[in-house]
Structure formats: C-alpha cells, structure tokens
Amino acid sequence: MPETRFPRRLMIVLIVAAAVLALLVGVGLYGLLLAPRSDPSPGGSSANDPPGSSTSAPSPGPSTPPVIRESDDPEAFARALATALFTWDTATEFGPTDYAQVIVDVGDPSGNETAGLASDVRTYLPTADAWAQLRTMQTRQWLDIDEVFVPDEWATALEQASEGQILPGTVAYTITGVRQREGIHGTEPVTSSHDVAFTVFITCEPTFDTCRALRLSELDNPLR
C-alpha cells in the first residue's frame, strides 16, 4: 500500500547512507594505517629505516612544488609523475594540498577520474598533523627511481577487458625506487631510505593530445 512504501524507501536510503559513511570511515582508517610512510620521526624514518641509510646525494629541495611538463611520451610522463608524487619539502610555505594539486592538475581532463586520483594521491602524502611535525624537523623527500616498466599483469588486463572498457592509449607503468628523506633532529642531520614500488595508470594519444594521469595503485602493492 502507498502508506507503507515511504518508510521502506526511507529505510533503504538510511541503509545506503550508513554504508557510504562506513566506507568513508574505512578510507580514513586506511589512511592512518599508511602513516608509517609519513612517519613524523626525525628524517621521516621508521623502524625499518635506519638513520644515515641514504644511498645517494640529496636532491636539491624545491622552492616551489614540482611541475609536470606536458608530454606525449608515456614513459617520460610516468617518470615525471612519479618524481612529482614523492618530491616535497616542509621547509617551504607549501603544504600537502599544494603538492597533491600538482598531480591532480595533470589528471583526466574529463573529470571522470579526478576524485579517485585525488584520493590516491592523499595516501602518498603526510597528513596535515604529520606535516606539521615534519616541518619542525625541516624534512624533505624525493625519489630515486630504479626501474620503470609495463607489468605483465597489465597485458593480461588488456586481454580480459571488454571493448570500450579501457580508453585507447591507456598504459600502466610499475615504478620501483628508493624514497629518500632528509631532516634535522635537534642540531643533527638525519636521513632515511625506504624501498617503494607502485603503479601509475596513464592515458596518452589517441584519447588525449598529451599524457594524463588516471589513477595510482596502493603504495607497495603494484602490478607485477
């Protein structure tokens, strides 16, 4: 009867809303689980990152967030994207949002993947609270890239995708490297190194004139 439909619909709406809220809370908790990647300890080191373990000369700290230049070369774009994703300096006036915007600015121009990409980027950056602590130690970060390659699992994904499911010119690159951090604890310089691996999904020609970022994998859970 009509008078019973409204309560049932209302109940369905409330259930869906509760599920969405639970999902958002889960995403928030998931971000906290990734906190060791943004550990505000001296130099950003974690229990697995021994001080003084940097394997290369520190890269110059940026006075502004990095810029990802337009490119129609997929691998070159993937490298630039990875570099920008890991490059930040708390000694500047910029914060996590500014560095995240660099990645979002080269995202899907249609906007279809913008929210997802922004969410992905946030898991790679320190939280606002962690950033404030890292700033007291003038911590900066950069990435030394080891390998950039198209993973075998991407070829499998292309084979199994239905027609029109993946935009023409879309490719995945898995990137391995070493996340480097440098900071000051008291008056002593502290450095740390941490192996990382991740996958970037980008779309280039013929869909877009220049390459664009679509999504990022979970850190240290790349396609192989």
Q: 63: pLDDT confidence band, cut at 50, 70 and 90?
A: low
Nearest one of 107, 110, 108, 90 to 99, comparing CA atoms: 90
pLDDT for the residue 149: 98
Residue keyed to tokens 């914060």 = 95
> What does the pLDDT read at residue 93?
94
Q: CB neighbours (10 Å) of residue 19?
A: 10
Please write the tens of the pLDDT for every residue from 111-137: 999 999 999 999 999 999 999 999 999
Q: What is the mean pLDDT of the chain?
A: 80
pTM of the model: 0.73
- Interval 51-57 mean pLDDT: 38
